[in-house]
Amino acid sequence: MKLLSLETATAAGGAALVIDGVVIGESMTTKDRRHAETLLPSAIELLAQAGITVQELDGIVIDVGPGLYTGLRVGIATARSLAMASGSGLYSLTSLEVLANDERLGTSQTVLSVLDARRGEVFAQYFTVENGQRFPQGEPRVLLPGDLIEEMDTRPQSLVVVGDGGVRYQELFAHLQGVEFAPVPLFPSPATAAMMVERGGVTKQDIPSDVTPIYLRDPDAVANFKVAAPSRLADS
């Protein structure tokens, strides 16, 4: 399969090209909030270097979140357009499952994917191991780091914490027993997402508009308005 994978859910975004299970190239940038400027040029460059056209692709892979509101909108809109242009299907994965399935982690332990959600919150989800594969345990959530740590303190088994959210709040996790912190990956990798599709088990969406983002909460602008509105009413 020829798969073009896009990643815009976090501060680190980019694209990857995977052909028949081989990562041909991956381009990533950590220039926050510049996904709209860099995503499509990165994808086009990867295709040009491989000497293939959009129409030759067998699928577009996109991270649908949870993640940053603007980045998700940019990534999903771009993925939909490329899927329609190529006539291929669209494959969607969540940011937290892509983190948990990074091959650098191995497959021996339970993983807790934690991404910085800003506003003092994190996106988190557990993944358990069965027959050498990782499967989600529960749904992705947005919560306070303190609430997550309190919950982790009651879990009997050891686990590996992965993602930039775990690194940011690592000091708060220090007292927990049986918790390890993976130095990589900090962010979801588009190459990992494409390899997950290559291995099978990810459903192809033939109608690109059916692929929608996972936000878990209101965007920053809406949240800020809700906070400011009561004070404006009080002043009137």
What token pair was written down for 98? Answer: 């892509």
The partner residues of 6 in beta bridges, in order of sequence, read 15, 62
Q: State the pLDDT at residue 30.
A: 82
- Asked whether the CA dihedral 116, 117, 120, 121 is positive or negative, the reply is negative
For position 137, which CATH number holds? 3.30.420.40
- Residues 73, 117 share a domain: no
> Whole-model pTM?
0.89
pLDDT of residue 91: 98
Q: 160: which strand partners?
A: 111, 180
pLDDT of the residue at 33:
61
Q: Are residues 108 and 165 in the same domain?
A: yes
Residues 148 and 206 in one domain: no
Q: What's the pLDDT at 220?
A: 54
Q: From CA 176, how far away is CA 154, in angstroms rounded?
A: 10
pLDDT of residue 132: 75
198 and 88 fall within a common domain: yes
Number of domains in the chain: 2
Same domain, 174 and 192: no
Q: Let me know whether 167 and 199 are in one domain.
A: no
| Preceding omega of 156 cis (within 30 degrees of 0) | no
Tens of pLDDT along the chain (236 residues) come to: 999 999 999 999 999 999 999 999 999 988 666 788 899 999 999 999 999 999 999 999 999 999 999 999 999 999 999 999 999 999 999 999 999 999 999 877 899 999 999 999 999 999 998 877 889 999 999 999 999 999 998 887 789 999 999 999 999 988 888 899 999 899 999 999 999 999 998 999 999 999 999 999 987 544 443 434 444 555 54
